[in-house]
């Protein structure tokens, strides 16, 4: 999009090719000096930040094609940690070199702004989810998000494996593990999906979408104003 083949080649030059990483490996840890952005080629990664007194907040799960580390530019230091969830291939993009390149190639600069902006937009959606949705809506939104992102990479949108634990899902969605587990059971009973351990099959995407929209009586905080 807006890059000619020569530009792509120059971008390609600065990418450090991926070595395979394994479950539990860190791409970086919170408070590490910021050097590079990372792109998931295959596999998956979770990012998380410590919360006061020992807990942690899962900030996101990152699937193939997704970029990690943008939040570190500001302080030139990583504000969260990134841990590999399953055997994965990850590319590294030294940021200093990327910055030079974006200054020289306007369309690439624009692309970079868009990526950063997009990340903000995604966080915003997540705020809405945590601020206004109930447990059922959150889990449905989570499943659909995975589905759509996998589909975008040419993978099945309705049949996939979860690389993260129920605990991590709950943490990410602001729910207890037990709630996540109960909802999986309920969704399965309702014929929306099939769950077998980590193996997920979404049977009724439309029904899931209507759940997210806010089916039930969430009259809560509908209006507001002055």
Partner DNA sequence: CGCGGAATTGATGTGCATCAACTCGGGTGG
Partner DNA sequence: CCACCCGAGTTGATGCACATCAATTCCGCG
Chain positions contacting a copy of itself, by CB under 8 A: 23-24, 49, 51-59, 70-75, 79-80, 99, 102-103, 106, 109-110, 112-121, 123-124, 126-128, 130-132, 165, 167-168, 170-174, 176, 212-214, 218, 220-226
The widest CA-to-CA distance across the chain, in whole angstroms, is 56
Q: Which of residues 119-178 bind DNA (CB under 7 A)?
A: 134-136, 165-167, 174-178
Helix, strand, or coil (residue 26): strand
What string of H, E and C letters represents the secondary structure of 15-47?
Answer: CEEEEEECCCCEEECCCCECCEEEEEEECCEEE
Residue 55 contact among DNA, a copy of itself, none, beta carbon within 5 to 8 Å by kind: a copy of itself
Q: What is the DSSP letter of 71?
A: G
| CB nearer DNA, residue 26 or residue 113 | 26
Helix, strand, or coil (residue 146): helix
Q: Which residues pair with 42 in a beta bridge?
A: 89
> Residue 1: which of 107, 104, 152 has the closest Cα?
107
Residue 23 contact among DNA, a copy of itself, none, beta carbon within 5 to 8 Å by kind: a copy of itself
Q: Does 91 engage in binding with DNA (CB under 7 A)?
A: no
Q: How many residues touch DNA (CB under 7 A)?
A: 26
Q: What is the DSSP letter of 224?
A: -
| CB nearer DNA, residue 114 or residue 186 | 186
Q: CA–CA separation, 107 vs 11, rounded Å?
A: 12
| CB nearer DNA, residue 111 or residue 181 | 181
Residue 185 contact among DNA, a copy of itself, none, beta carbon within 5 to 8 Å by kind: DNA
- Residue 157 in contact with residue 163, Cβ under 8 Å? no
Q: Does 182 engage in binding with DNA (CB under 7 A)?
A: yes
Q: Tell me how far, at minimum, the Cβ of 150 lies from a copy of itself, in Å.
A: 21
């Amino acid at each position: 999009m807006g890059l000619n083949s020569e530009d792509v080649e120059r971008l390609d030059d600065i990418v450090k090719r991926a070595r395979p990483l394994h479950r539990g490996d860190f791409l970086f840890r919170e408070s590490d000096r910021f050097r590079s952005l990372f792109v998931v080629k295959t596999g998956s990664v979770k990012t998380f930040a410590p919360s006061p007194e020992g807990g942690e907040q899962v900030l996101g799960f990152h699937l193939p094609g997704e970029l990690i580390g943008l939040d570190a530019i500001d302080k030139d230091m990583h504000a969260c940690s990134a841990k590999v969830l399953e055997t994965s291939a990850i590319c590294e993009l030294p940021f200093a070199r990327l910055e030079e390149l974006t200054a020289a190639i306007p369309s690439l600069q624009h692309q970079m702004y868009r990526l950063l902006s997009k990340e903000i937009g995604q966080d915003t959606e997540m705020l809405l989810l945590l601020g206004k949705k109930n447990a059922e809506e959150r889990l449905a939104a989570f499943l659909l998000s995975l589905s759509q992102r996998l589909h975008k990479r040419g993978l099945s949108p309705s049949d996939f494996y979860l690389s993260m634990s129920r605990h991590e899902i709950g943490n990410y969605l602001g729910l207890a593990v037990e709630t996540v587990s109960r909802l999986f059971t309920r969704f399965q009973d309702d014929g929306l999906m099939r769950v077998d351990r980590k193996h997920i099959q979404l049977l009724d995407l439309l029904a899931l979408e209507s759940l997210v929209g806010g089916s039930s009586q969430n009259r809560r905080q509908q209006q507001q104003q002055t």
